[in-house]
Amino acid sequence: MSEIREIKSTRSEIVLSLHSHIRGLGLDSNMEPKPVAGGLVGQIEARKAAGVVVDLIRQGKMTGKGILFVGPPGTGKTALAVAIARELGEDTPFVAIDGAEIYSAEIKKTEVLMRAVRKAIGVKVRELRKVYEGVVKNIKIGFVKHPFNPYARIPGEARITLETKDDSITISVGEEITSQLVQLRIKRGDHIWIDAETGIVHKVGRVKGVEEAKYYDIDSTRIEEEMPSGPVKRDKEIVRVFTFNDLDLYVASQRFSITSLFGVELEKEIDEDVRKSVNSMVKKWLEEGKGEIVPGVLFIDDAHLLDLEAFSFLTKVLESEFSPILILATNRGVTRIRGTDIEAPHGIPLDLLDRLLIIPVKPYTREEIKQIILIRAEEEEVQLSKEGLERLADIGANHSLRYAVQLLRPAYIIAERRKHQEITPEDIEEASKLFIDTKQSVKLIKQFEEQFMK
């Protein structure tokens, strides 16, 4: 375990601003969907089916299976996929890609899919490590001259006193740890712990009542009421969640650091031997009881844009030892499989379609659209008048939910310019004139068809 350091994951896929309000499927104790809950509105049957899927996942009964959401655009397919991931827990990796994303000119489409798959599989690693943990009672940082700039000074070493209710220790630390102390702005009263093996410093919060420590009425650091107890030097269980892709990149970077010495550049695609070594390492952690697999969710929207090679790859993924929860979504009926003349339901080959639990989603009613707009307005901290809400609900019902939601922010800016506290129907009308929807765009094209380039 000592060779694996903490890896800073850049999982921007987890954060979907359009669905940031979703907290789960909104089910009651009997696993029945509430009309409005968890950030979701309506889609009772689809949410109930998704609840059953969550139970199957928790029971380990989804091996070899996937999910397919089928419905018109703007019916909440992505929202339901996000809700399933939220329902499975905060450590659950969630990766969302569009079917068109795999066609990259730089790397093979199977490599794009493989990276997405391995980003969607987590490994929770538990380690018992020696740490120094306590509240900073005193800290003195020594500075030395910069090796290249004689006029600059950099952190050189530090002497720090950590204390708890039962113990107090003064330790000296070197340049790397001192740099972290400076970067984290560690000062008297801060509750920290230092990994004795890696030297990584973690700031937990601040403790009240430490002598000579300064406190503020407003502080971004979490304030703790009590000082921690026990010895300063202790064994601490550290839990980290990595994705398989994190580990792939780490192992590949280690090999790169060696091969680069001989002028060999790291390939754009991760070598299969790297992934095999990571798989072996994870299996060893599992056998030793030091880790556990956290199945994540791989969501592929517009799945009808995938081709036969991609579908064959996903079929193989479903059969593999380490597999995420595969969720596909499409708004197509019977259509051609990309790159062929073969027509199939939803543009998906039957051999893969047979492995998918198909969940239909239906268009929202006007009242449901109204509720969704209200939730989005609260999430974006936008004030809507009653009349403005009704007008947006009409637009959502007559045009599309997405168009209505997209008008929220422009209408709010217009309202601010007009010195309004709330968005009024007049503000919405002005926004709808400036930003047209798809139907209006098609109408405009037909009206000026002769003047458009062909």
Render 208-244 in DSSP notation, one character per residue: TT-TT----SS-SSPEESS---S-SEEEEEEEEEEEH
Q: Lowest mean pLDDT: which of 4-8, 134-138, 309-313, 352-356?
A: 4-8
Task: List beta partners, residue 343.
Answer: 336
When pLDDT is cut at 50, 70 and 90, the band that residue 9 belongs to is very low
Classify domain 122-289 by CATH number: 2.40.50.360
Helix (H) or strand (E) run with residue 20 in it: none
Nearest alpha-carbon partner for 80 in 120, 112, 33: 33
> What is the predicted pLDDT for the residue at 216?
61
Asked whether 365 and 36 are in contact (CB, 8 A), the reply is: no
405/212: higher pLDDT: 405
Q: What is the pLDDT of residues 322-341, one digit of tens each?
A: 788 899 999 888 889 888 88
Which residue type, as a one-letter code, is found at position 129?
Answer: R
> What is the predicted pLDDT for the residue at 238?
75
Alpha-helical runs (H) found in 89-139: 109-119
Asked whether 366 and 398 are in contact (CB, 8 A), the reply is: no
pLDDT higher than threshold 60 for residue 218:
no
Residues 6+ apart with CB under 8 A from 417: none
> What is the predicted pLDDT for the residue at 15?
39
When pLDDT is cut at 50, 70 and 90, the band that residue 68 belongs to is very high
Superfamily holding 12-120+296-360: P-loop containing nucleotide triphosphate hydrolases (3.40.50.300)
Q: What is the mean pLDDT of the chain?
A: 80
Asked whether 334 and 131 are in contact (CB, 8 A), the reply is: no
Cβ atoms within 10 Å of 90's Cβ, excluding its own: 8
Distance CA 33, CA 24 (A): 11
When pLDDT is cut at 50, 70 and 90, the band that residue 13 belongs to is very low
The most confident of the ranges 38-47, 271-280, 413-422 is: 413-422
pLDDT higher than threshold 60 for residue 3:
no
Mean pLDDT of 53-60: 86
391/89: higher pLDDT: 391
Total-model pTM? 0.68
> What is the predicted pLDDT for the residue at 213?
67
Mean pLDDT of 139-164: 79
Nearest alpha-carbon partner for 117 in 244, 291, 303, 14: 244
Asked whether 79 and 26 are in contact (CB, 8 A), the reply is: no
When pLDDT is cut at 50, 70 and 90, the band that residue 19 belongs to is low
When pLDDT is cut at 50, 70 and 90, the band that residue 254 belongs to is low
> What is the predicted pLDDT for the residue at 11?
40
When pLDDT is cut at 50, 70 and 90, the band that residue 299 belongs to is very high
> What is the predicted pLDDT for the residue at 363?
87
> What is the predicted pLDDT for the residue at 258?
45
Nearest alpha-carbon partner for 411 in 435, 439, 446, 376: 435
Distance CA 322, CA 328 (A): 18
> What is the predicted pLDDT for the residue at 5?
41
pLDDT higher than threshold 80 for residue 427:
yes
Q: Lowest mean pLDDT: which of 106-115, 160-169, 266-275?
A: 266-275
Which residue type, as a one-letter code, is found at position 284?
Answer: K
> What is the predicted pLDDT for the residue at 4?
40
pLDDT higher than threshold 70 for residue 304:
yes
Residues 6+ apart with CB under 8 A from 35: 41, 42, 44
Classify domain 366-447 by CATH number: 1.10.8.60
For 297, what's the count of Cα atoms within 13 Å in the CB-facing half-sphere? 31
Domain spans in the chain, listed from the N-terminal domain onward: 12-120+296-360, 122-289, 366-447
